[in-house]
Structure 1
């Protein structure tokens, strides 16, 4: 009894790698190995590239908006119409400034996901599930090992990025104190330069962290979808079908094929026999095939049934032991006879046609 329980326990252990079908099913549900750090790193990288390329354009537009605000808007009388106009014009200018960054951020988001998991569209995660609002399940997720690992990772990332950011600010602290004595254009240029240095440093750190995080996410995902030996057996049964049901289906298919074959025997030109053990029904129809073909064959009991049906439908039976055996072994039902049998079969068909004319 104890031995059986031990075997059941080990059979239920998740020790086997997930099968391709299991991975495909998990993917359809939207469960894939993905690192958010890769997304963040690529998003920041693309955004900085855009800022580096369009930096002068963004600076010129910001200065133009600054000058326009303090030379034009400041003198306007505030009412409903002017407020709406100011809001509209400022919104358009801001959209011009940050638009390229927003656009590239969207592209970077798609690119990072495609790079990690390929194209995936599923509505499975959006389906309503009571387990998602179950407080017990929620508590388990909050205090799970994965949640603790994610918390420690977040703290470590904050510490690393915070240290890098603070170090760069500390490097430029003297220049920052002198910004108050610079004009707006020089101040914007300085802060743009500092932001670029901070961004590049943060990206390098995030890229390194992303490599380790992606490896961990893949490992954790593969671990979570592991299967037991029993799971693999059940999956195989579901794919291949229960052996008992499969055997019944095959038996049913054989019966249907047999009935179809027997229904064709009355259309045969001749049945070549062994005389008792083998029977092969031959038909020649120029519109169907270029040579005679087999429409039915059988051995022992089936051969007897073929001869019986042939006799009942006045189909001639010819005994030729070697030919019957050879045709049975070489030709499947519906196939044209091979060339080596042409002469022997032609002689039999000629004999049959002569006998039918005499009758």
Structure 2
């Protein structure tokens, strides 16, 4: 039973039930793993492109009409030479660029803007790295028959249905006018069918944009689910950030040893060591060039206090027993810092006694 409880605790600790930490989110973002919907890009791109066609359709049609007029009224009567071919190619390229450039520019801006809206500014080459795990046929089969694949299939069918219904409805509403275009001029027919095409494109783009809201919500939910962490993961992350407790303890112990060694080297220069007499030892020094008040050069309790007293004795530093003062100095003082103002009088009396004693000696 005890073993079973341990197994259950292990599985519970390893179950990914916790929200991702900020560090985990940052790490996944660096790898290019962010919630993103391609439908947002597609819908935004289509609505911008068809909007541009709606606004600049007259200008584009006029430019194309001018190209045909020049080609069939001027170029057709000229002799075909190398210079004429070159000039025709350059002029036609310029005219076509005038038509294509606005659409390409808007498409580029739409693509960048839709990505910025979803993921912000992000530069990473992690998705481009070679990963042999992606070639694993077993994992590939699991992805094909996964719940995510079914969701993507449902989304595709939904998009096709929406776009199909919208385009069919627009064609059905305008079917009578379409039939009458055979009696109209070419220019009127082209204008009508161009308008119908733009209306279908804008309506389909709006439908895709509405569907993309649902898709982005799902992508965000799925991303949050995939980056969930277990309690063990969170503990391991804290260990990595803050350092292993055992290593930290060893570092602190080393630091204490170095600090104690440095303190012991200062004791021979102290003016007095105040003790309580066995548990506490505080080495005091007064140097007007360093501080206007006496300051602590070393202090310790128990074993460290004993070491301070031994070093003081071997270097003929005066030791004075004052139990309440030693305990109070230890609690309210720091190494290499002046003593608190409340101890000025008591320490001054001790130093005066020490100076008188050294003067007699």
Equivalent residue for 2:278?
Answer: 276
The aligned residue for residue 147 of structure 1 is 149
Matched, 1:57 2:54: no
Count of residues in correspondence between the two structures:
359
Gaps of 5+ in 2: none
Residue 91 of structure 1 pairs with residue 97 of structure 2: no
Matches of 1:267 and 1:236 in 2, distance apart? 44
The corresponding residue for 1:171 is 173
Q: Give the TM-score normalised by the residue count of structure 2.
A: 0.87
SS at match of 1:303: helix
Shift of 1:305: 0.9
Structure 1 residue 330 and structure 2 residue 332: aligned? yes
1:84 Cα deviation from its structure 2 partner: 4.6
The residue number in structure 2 matching 1:292 is: 294
Indicate the residue corresponding to 1:198 in structure 2: 200
Match of 1:42 among 26, 32, 44: 44
- CA shift, 1:39, in A, is 1.5
Encode CA deviations 1:90-128: one digit per residue, 9 max, x unaligned: 232222222122222222222222222222111111111
What is the Cα-based RMSD across aligned positions, in Å?
A: 2.7
> Counterparts of 1:1-359 in structure 2 under 5 Å?
1-77=3-79, 82-179=84-181, 182=184, 186-356=188-358, 359=361
Which segments of 5 or more consecutive residues in structure 1 lack a partner in the other structure?
Answer: none
Q: Answer whether contact 2:47 2:206 (CA < 8 A) is retained.
A: no
1:37 Cα offset (Å)? 1.3
Q: Displacement of 1:70 after TM fit? A: 2.4
Spell out, residue by residue over 1:217-258, the C-alpha distance to the aligned partner (whole angstroms, 9 max, x if none). 111111222233333333333333333333223222222222
How far apart, in 2, do the equivalents of 1:295 and 1:157 lie?
A: 78
Distance 2:227 2:29 in 1: 11
Checking the alignment, whether the CA contact within 8 Å between 1:63 and 1:185 is kept in structure 2 is no
Looking at structure 1, the residues matched to 4 and 277 of structure 2 have their Cα atoms a distance apart, in angstroms, of 62
